[in-house]
């Protein structure tokens, strides 16, 4: 699905340059469940942004399904995110003034789905995550676990092929964490791909592949036999 | 879910955040609508006065004003009727007709009317024959109307409203205004009793929208007899052939009749014209203030809103919102502010105009749809334009903001 070749991303601020991420070669296949682990500032979020088509690299090429992602126009990348990629955020990023139902409808609206169908699908997704009786509740009226479930329902709204998750279990209690990770397991069993950034060891062990980052570079990858020991 | 709902939900969540901007727009539109309405109706009023008395000169009692004349409030102030003969004998250049009037308050069926004694033109013919004077024979040299041919006066009694004179009116006849005819159900051929005397109705005047609608015109000498006023009048209207002639008549009449006040309508309305011009310029100033203050307020509010919603915008972009959609989101919000401020301002402006118009300018104001639409369009345009750059900056936000921690 993804091929990163000679990628470098540099942040420049006040005449200082920081290499946020650098990799010579990284391949992620369709159907993989990848956990990206590493300390703060190691480049995890930068990697996620690169994969999501939101941050163009300063050097190298990033191929998505064989096509250079950053040679696509902004419009095409936006459409790609809308149709094929789902995001899960550490702080859920629900729109605070919209109800649970409205929040799940947002990606459907952005994808041009008709209002009646939006409502039906959104209600169905919320039902699946156990929030069928909370459709008209705003985020401030939901618990943390419930908010993350709404966010998950939103992620799945457009039936994406790929989920990019940024610390999806970071703020959750064990029960809610299990709900999220179970959904991820089911997602992968359907043949779809997850790239998850996490500090949570219990979440990382659920992934079939672990990639270890430090100082913007991959120092370990369970796909790579030599560096497998770093990820142990 | 659609863009309209997205914007409306956000506005409903925190309406007070937009209050200042909406208020700025509302107040600006209120001032604009109020001033323009009063100006327009004031200008129309002046135009009507000019039209009805354009080239005329009024001889009034010394202490009377034109306002007193228009409101038919001259009952206690009089001039000797002999002034009419003095003007006739003087044979001033450019004078085409004279119309002396005596106004008194009266009632018909308990409704107040103004009984106006008017001397028909046929009486002047009699006076001229007796005095051996050639009637109005002194033509104005260089008359601006001369090229159009001699002016003809309509002899029909109904033309009194427009011509300001009547050719024939017997001592027992009356011509009534439209309002009088309406409430008393009178028509030509019937008789009306006023101040204890019965008068035959000769004609009903067409509606003019002025105080003439509530007048009853009778022969001057009849009214003098009915009221025991003696040989007096309240006003003498001198019809000039053109405005130039009217202008030159003023000093001559003032010299001829030193105990009277001589005015032309153009002199009197020039003050009002000046005020109207000032108000017109004031409304332009208000537009300027509306643009600057209202626009700056909206721009600042939307910019602040963009800053507060950076994470939300980043999230929307991560979910697949295009920069165009983000721009439209903020522009639509600004348009709603403009619409609310514009509609509120138009409503409040209209109420203010009605109150100010009647109390300060003495005019009755009615809504002007074109002006209201223009004010609303201006409010919409100002708010949308003011929000354009903040909206564009929102569209250029880095979508990676969605990953930033709180």
Total structural domains in chain B?
2
> Where is the domain boundary, B203, B232, B258?
B258
B402 and A107 within 8 Å at the Cβ level: the answer is no
CB distance from B396 to chain A under 8 Å?
no
Q: Which of A91, A98, A110 sits opposite B319 (nearest CB)?
A: A110
With CA atoms as reference, the chain A residue closest to B325 would be: A110
Q: Tell me, what's the pLDDT at B98?
A: 85
SS (H, E, C) chain B: CCHHHHHHHHHHHCHHHHHHHHHHHHHHHHHHHHHHHHHHHHHHHHHHHHHHHCCEEEEEECCCCHHHHHCCCCCCCCEECHHHHHHHHHCCCCEEEEEEEEEEEEEECCEEEEEEEECCHHHHHHHHHHHCCCCCCCCCCCCCCHHHCCCCCCCCHHHHHHHCCCCCCCCCEEEECHHHHHHHCCCCCCEEEECCEEEEEEEECCCCCCHHHHEEEEEHHHHHHHHCCCCEECEEEEEECCHHHHHHHHHHHHHHCCCEEEEEHHHHHHHHHHHHHHHHHHHHHHHHHHHHHHHHHHHHHHHHHHHHCHHHHHHHHHCCCCHHHHHHHHHHHHHHHHHHHHHHHHHHHHHHHHHHHHHHHCCCCCCCHHHHHHHHHHHHHHHHHHHHHHHHHHHCCCHHHHHCCC
Q: pLDDT band for A220, please (50, 70, 90 cuts).
A: confident
Q: Which of A49, A96, A102 sits opposite B403 (nearest CB)?
A: A49
A154 and B319 within 8 Å at the Cβ level: the answer is yes
Q: Tell me, what's the pLDDT at A136?
A: 93
Tell whether B224 and B300 lie within a shared domain: no
Tell whether B384 and B325 lie within a shared domain: yes
For residue A24, being part of any structural domain is answered with no
For residue B266, being part of any structural domain is answered with no
For residue B378, being part of any structural domain is answered with yes
For residue B389, being part of any structural domain is answered with yes
As for the ipTM of the complex, it is 0.88
Q: Under 8 Å CB-to-CB from A162, ≥6 apart: which residues?
A: A1, A84, A85, A86, A192, A193, A194, A195
Tell whether B67 and B11 lie within a shared domain: no
Q: Tell me, what's the pLDDT at B152?
A: 57
> Where is the domain boundary, B204, B231, B258?
B258
Tell whether B226 and B333 lie within a shared domain: no
Give the pLDDT confidence of B310-353 residue by residue, as tens digits: 889 989 998 989 999 999 999 999 999 999 999 999 999 999 99
Q: Which of B13, B320, B400 sits opposite A78 (nearest CB)?
A: B320
Q: Tell me, what's the pLDDT at B243?
A: 65
Q: pLDDT band for A180, please (50, 70, 90 cuts).
A: confident
Give the pLDDT confidence of B160-216 residue by residue, as tens digits: 766 677 788 888 999 999 889 998 998 899 999 999 999 999 999 888 777 788 889
Q: Domain containing B333: what range?
A: 3-47+272-403
For residue B295, being part of any structural domain is answered with yes
Q: Which of A49, A78, A118 sits opposite B400 (nearest CB)?
A: A49
CB distance from A95 to chain B under 8 Å?
yes
pTM across the whole model: 0.71
Tell whether B301 and B354 lie within a shared domain: yes
Total structural domains in chain A?
1
Window from A49-58, B49-58, B91-100, B247-256 with minimum mean pLDDT: B49-58
For residue A85, being part of any structural domain is answered with yes
For residue B169, being part of any structural domain is answered with yes
Residue of A77, A89, A159 to mutate, interface with B, max B Cβ within 10 Å: A89
CB distance from B160 to chain A under 8 Å?
no
For residue B32, being part of any structural domain is answered with yes
For residue B125, being part of any structural domain is answered with yes
Q: For residue B402, give how far its alpha carbon lies from the nearest alpha carbon of chain A (Å).
A: 7
Give the pLDDT confidence of A89-111 residue by residue, as tens digits: 888 889 999 999 999 999 999 99
Residue A79 in this model has a pLDDT that exceeds 80: yes
Q: pLDDT band for B146, please (50, 70, 90 cuts).
A: very low
For residue A107, being part of any structural domain is answered with yes
Q: Tell me, what's the pLDDT at B45?
A: 77
A93 and B402 within 8 Å at the Cβ level: the answer is yes
Tell whether B139 and B231 lie within a shared domain: yes
For residue A174, being part of any structural domain is answered with yes
Q: Domain containing A187: what range?
A: 31-53+75-231
Tell whether B223 and B326 lie within a shared domain: no
For residue A44, being part of any structural domain is answered with yes
Tell whether B150 and B281 lie within a shared domain: no
Q: pLDDT band for B242, please (50, 70, 90 cuts).
A: low
For residue B238, being part of any structural domain is answered with yes
- Count how many pairs of residues, chain A against chain B, have C-beta atoms within 8 Å: 78
CATH number at residue A178: 3.40.50.300
> Where is the domain boundary, B202, B227, B258?
B258
CB distance from B323 to chain A under 8 Å?
yes
Q: What's the mean pLDDT in B48-63?
A: 74
Tell whether B11 and B96 lie within a shared domain: no
Tell whether B354 and B225 lie within a shared domain: no
With CA atoms as reference, the chain A residue closest to B315 would be: A93
Q: pLDDT band for A203, please (50, 70, 90 cuts).
A: confident
Window from A69-73, B66-70, B281-285, B395-399 with minimum mean pLDDT: B66-70
Q: For residue B16, give how far its alpha carbon lies from the nearest alpha carbon of chain A (Å).
A: 15
């Amino acid at each position: 699905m993804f091929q990163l070749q000679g990628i470098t991303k540099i942040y420049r601020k006040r005449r200082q340059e920081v290499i946020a991420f650098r990799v010579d070669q990284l391949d992620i296949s369709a159907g993989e469940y990848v956990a990206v682990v590493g300390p703060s500032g190691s480049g995890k979020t930068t990697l996620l942004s690169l994969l999501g088509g939101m941050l163009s690299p300063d050097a190298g090429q990033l191929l998505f399904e064989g096509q250079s992602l950053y040679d696509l126009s902004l419009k095409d990348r936006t459409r790609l995110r809308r149709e094929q990629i789902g995001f899960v955020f550490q702080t859920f990023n629900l729109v605070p003034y919209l109800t649970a139902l409205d929040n799940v409808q947002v990606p459907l609206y952005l994808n041009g789905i008709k209002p009646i169908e939006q409502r039906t699908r959104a209600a169905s997704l919320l039902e699946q995550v156990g929030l069928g009786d909370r459709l008209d509740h705003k985020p401030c009226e939901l618990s943390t676990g419930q908010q993350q479930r709404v966010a998950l329902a939103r992620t799945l709204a457009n039936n994406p092929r790929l989920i990019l998750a940024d610390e999806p279990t970071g703020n959750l209690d064990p029960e809610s964490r299990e709900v999220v990770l179970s959904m991820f397991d089911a997602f992968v069993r359907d043949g779809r791909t997850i790239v998850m950034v996490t500090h949570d060891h219990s979440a990382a062990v659920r992934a079939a592949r672990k990639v270890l980052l430090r100082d913007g570079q991959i120092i370990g990858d369970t796909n790579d036999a030599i560096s497998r020991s770093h990820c142990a | 879910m659609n863009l309209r709902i997205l914007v409306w939900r956000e506005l409903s969540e925190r309406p007070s955040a937009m209050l200042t901007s909406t208020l700025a727009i509302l107040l600006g539109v209120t001032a604009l609508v109020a001033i323009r309405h009063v100006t327009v109706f004031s200008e129309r009023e002046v135009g009507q006065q000019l039209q009805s008395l354009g080239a005329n000169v009024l001889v009034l009692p010394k202490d009377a004003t034109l306002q007193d004349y228009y409101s038919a409030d001259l009952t206690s102030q009089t001039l000797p009727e002999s002034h009419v003969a003095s003007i006739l004998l003087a044979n001033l250049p450019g004078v085409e007709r004279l119309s002396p009037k005596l106004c008194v308050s009266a009632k018909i069926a308990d409704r107040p009317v103004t009984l106006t004694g008017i001397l028909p033109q046929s009486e002047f013919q009699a006076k001229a024959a007796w005095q051996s004077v050639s009637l109005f024979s002194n033509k104005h040299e260089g008359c601006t109307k001369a090229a159009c041919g001699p002016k003809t006066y309509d002899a029909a009694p109904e033309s009194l409203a427009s011509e300001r004179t009547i050719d024939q009116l017997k001592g027992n006849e009356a011509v009534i205004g439209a309002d009088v005819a309406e409430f008393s159900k009178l028509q030509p051929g019937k008789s009306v009793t006023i101040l204890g005397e019965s008068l035959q109705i000769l004609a009903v005047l067409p509606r003019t929208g002025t105080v003439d609608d509530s007048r009853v015109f009778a022969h001057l000498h009849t009214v003098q007899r009915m009221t025991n006023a003696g040989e007096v009048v309240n006003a003498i209207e001198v019809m000039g052939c053109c405005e130039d002639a009217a202008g030159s008549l003023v000093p001559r009449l003032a010299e001829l009749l030193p105990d009277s006040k001589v005015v032309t309508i153009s002199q009197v309305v020039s003050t009002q014209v000046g005020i109207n011009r000032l108000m017109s310029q004031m409304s332009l100033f208000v537009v300027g203030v509306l643009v600057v203050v209202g626009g700056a307020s909206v721009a600042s509010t939307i910019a602040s809103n963009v800053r507060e919603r950076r994470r939300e915008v980043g999230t929307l972009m991560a979910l697949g919102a295009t920069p165009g959609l983000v721009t439209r989101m903020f522009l639509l919000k600004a348009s709603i502010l403009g619409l609310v401020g514009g509609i509120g301002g138009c409503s409040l402006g209209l109420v203010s105009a009605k109150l100010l118009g009647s109390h300060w300018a003495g005019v009755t104001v009615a809504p002007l749809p074109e002006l209201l639409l223009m004010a609303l369009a201006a409010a919409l345009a100002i708010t949308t334009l003011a929000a354009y750059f903040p909206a564009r900056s929102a569209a250029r936000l880095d979508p990676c903001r969605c990953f930033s921690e709180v």
